[in-house]
Structure 1
């Protein structure tokens, strides 16, 4: 499947501050099918904005028949250009991660979802995904009832409620608002989301009755899907497996009209 890349700038006004956010679009195209329609996926980046690895990940998803929209998360502080994978870029990304308000993060997600839904080529089914900071933002986007499927790669600041200005988010506390299905992916050797932190996330989702799948990969570290400047942590084999997890969820939920989920749990047959 071919991919057409473009971008659009949308106005923002969170916290009473008028601005503009760039959304990078990766649109699948099929020759001779100009009216083809596809589900949409919001892709939230790590702290470096839409870098080469994030764009390649977007193309990979788009190539399977999804319109991918990747917002520039730090539009309040800098241009849409990505930060460098170096000490300066890391420090800036981490500083801005905690300078930006939750309201601003949530507005970004809402605007990006709305933009996808405004496209005549979108079917109206929306998923989300992201890594690191973007994993947490993908989780928060699942609080929007328009999002039906979400895949979070090593979501940071989720277990200790520390996203955004004031470092006191309500993401896990609002888990009961999630109506779609989640897939949570972590590396066992991820020092950013330690074992006790992963336990907190899993228990919170279970207690809230969220429909979710949980994956912990034995030898994976933080940023294991980043194929550039990963400090030796990139694992292509594990990344491929995790991408299949993403496709299974997105293909089942976004490309199939399942109708509303029945109330209650289906009976599970016991025995061998």
Structure 2
């Protein structure tokens, strides 16, 4: 099991993250970026799983400037609250916060090897935006909604990227994927997979859209990709 750690303090407010360490005590670094429901039990469980796979995982509290340690359920009430937090998010400021999180993660002596970023939904979008950071060796994006809003940043991408897209995703339809991927692949090494018939959020077992087969296949591809680059 992981634990919460302080990344940075501003006045009385603390920017923190959930840190999970592999059984052998060291490994490559992995910044794990949340969905709009915050660093909730699902995201913490993912951090623990990837730590068990050998990575030093840090899941930063992206909404900390609005409310510390947001952890919402996948219910109607939780989703309404999640969208309020998402609507108030300043992406420029968040990018600065995540740069600080990368710096914090890289400072741990137990981080041995490269550092990658991986995110889901909102986090999948944020992970791609970090692809211009030279401290990162790889980025994995699961169904990153809103990627089309950042086409101007594509020329700045530096590291290899892996994308997982749902074939029936209402937040990032295949038409948007088809428009974005050639631009990204013209800039940097990028691989993408489309999971036919799946809906947004297929990796999360707490959501109705969960697909065990697609989630298992995507994780296998993710671990292979990370093993080559970190």
Query: What range is the shorter-chain TM-score in?
Result: over 0.9
Q: Select which of 143, 146, 159 maps to 2:135.
A: 146
Task: Verify the 8 A CA contact 1:145 1:178 in the aligned structure 2.
Answer: no
* Residue 7 (structure 2) pairs with residue 10 (structure 1): yes
- SS of 2:21's partner is strand
* Residue 196 (structure 2) pairs with residue 218 (structure 1): yes
Aligned equivalents of 1:19 and 1:123: distance in 2?
A: 30
Aligned equivalents of 2:170 and 2:9: distance in 1?
A: 34
RMSD: 1.7
CA shift for structure 1 position 119: 0.5
TM-score when normalising by structure 2: 0.94
CA shift for structure 1 position 19: 3.5
Q: Select which of 177, 185, 194 maps to 2:156.
A: 177
Stretches (4+) displaced over 6 A: none
Superposed CA offset, 1:20-69 (max 9, x none): 21110010122xxxxx5311000001000112221221122111110000
Superposed CA offset, 1:72-109 (max 9, x none): 11111112040122222212222222312122211221
Task: Verify the 8 A CA contact 1:158 1:172 in the aligned structure 2.
Answer: yes
Alignment partner, residue 261 of structure 1 = none
Give runs of aligned pairs for residues 1-272 of structure 1, distance below 5 A: 4-11=1-8, 19-30=13-24, 37-159=26-148, 161=149, 171-207=150-186, 209-228=187-206, 230-231=207-208, 233-254=209-230
Aligned equivalents of 1:123 and 1:77: distance in 2?
A: 33
CA shift for structure 1 position 185: 0.6
After TM superposition, the structure 1 stretch with the greater mean CA deviation from structure 2, 103-112 or 37-46, is 103-112
TM-score when normalising by structure 1: 0.80
Alignment partner, residue 259 of structure 1 = none
Aligned equivalents of 1:143 and 1:91: distance in 2?
A: 32
Task: Verify the 8 A CA contact 2:23 2:51 in the aligned structure 1.
Answer: no
- SS of 1:147's partner is coil
CA shift for structure 1 position 136: 0.3
Structure with the higher helix share, 1 or 2: 2
CA shift for structure 1 position 249: 1.0
Task: Verify the 8 A CA contact 1:12 1:107 in the aligned structure 2.
Answer: no
Where in structure 2 are there 5+ consecutive unaligned residues? none
